[in-house]
Structure 1
Amino acid sequence: MSMTIKEATELASIIGVLITVIALLFTVLSFKKQLQLSFFSEYTRRYQEIVLNFPISFNADGFDYGSLTPEDRDKTLRYVRAYFDLCSEEYFLKRKGHIDSETWKEWEAGMRLAFSKTAFLEAWEILNLDSTYYSEFAKFVYEIMPNSRNKINQKDVGENDVSA
């Protein structure tokens, strides 16, 4: 059975469309992967900038903001607030489904470790951040932050909630 010129042209057109669709899908998937890497890299860059500005003794069990000069204390608290801001954004992105579970597990593990340290416990108390951040993030922090003296008022949780 031989093919007419018209049939050959139609077949070539179909093959050309299929190749174009496959190339487009490949391009979209590659672009999506690049966006994810760029997104993750930006959060990593922000995290590194924050932690590089903490005092050397910041992770010590006996860390005390009172032992810092007023300038160093203010600077450190600004960067701790920036860290809480970053965590709040990450928590919000997870709730909205904008980051995958594997990335969230990594970020959450880092938050749990950070929030277990004296410097973060004290900063949360000093900055009184439970009134600054939306209630679901504040509740999350209080659930993972051990020995917090300032427990969230349960009747307030949900009033300023950001819906998932």
Structure 2
Amino acid sequence: MNIDWNSLVSVATAVGVLIAAFQLRTSSKIAQSEFEDSIDQQYRALARGIPVDALIGKSVSNDKKEMTRELIYNYLDLCNEQIFLRRKKRIRKDTWVDWCAGIESNLAKLEFEEVWSEVKKEAPQTFTFLERLEKDRFKGDPTKWK
């Protein structure tokens, strides 16, 4: 039996390249998931400080108003960053769809809506990406904005 060593080496090289490409793609997906998870962790850390009443759409007691207001402002900043990251295609579409729905839901809650309205009135253009998303009624994809 006569073996064509050149063909065998070529096949082995091609298999090696395919395996390397698969590993690279897998590593990229893992890194993407870890990055998105780190943003989720930031949200959870903020949400832990926000009173439950605010998170379920109720008004918070006066003694918690200022703290809640500060945390919600920080939440708005995080939302703006999430939108920016999606615009730069650093966030996957399926993750973006979930985040966008969460942003829309939270901004409809009483305390969130009050702080968001105040920011838009007192400091317009502070969170331009969030303003744009709201203007698009939370339907647009920031990767497609002009």
**How high is the TM-score relative to the length of structure 1?**
0.71
- How far apart are the structure 2 equivalents of 1:141 and 1:129? 16
- How far apart are the structure 1 equivalents of 2:123 and 2:113? 11
Residue aligned with 1:130, SS = coil
- Deviations 1:30-82, CA, capped at 9 Å, x for gaps: 10110121022112111111111011211354415xx332xx43332222122
Show structure 1 runs of 5+ residues with no match. 146-162
Q: When you count helix as a share of all residues, which structure comes out higher?
A: 2
Q: Which residue is 1:63 aligned to? A: 59
User: Given residue 40 of structure 2, which amino acid in structure 1 is its aligned partner?
Assistant: T
Q: Which residue is 2:133 aligned to? A: 140
Q: Which residue is 1:152 aligned to? A: none
Indicate conservation of the 8 Å contact 1:61/1:118, yes or no.
yes
User: Given residue 140 of structure 1, which amino acid in structure 2 is its aligned partner?
Assistant: L
Q: CA RMSD in A?
A: 2.4
Q: Which residue is 1:20 aligned to? A: 16
Q: Which residue is 1:92 aligned to? A: 84
User: Given residue 141 of structure 1, which amino acid in structure 2 is its aligned partner?
Assistant: E
> % of aligned pairs identical?
21
**Greater relative contact order (CA < 8 Å, ≥ 6 in sequence):** 2
TM-aligned CA distance change 1:143 to 1:12, over 3 Å: closer
Runs of 4 or more, structure 1, over 6 Å off, are: none
- How far apart are the structure 1 equivalents of 2:123 and 2:51? 21
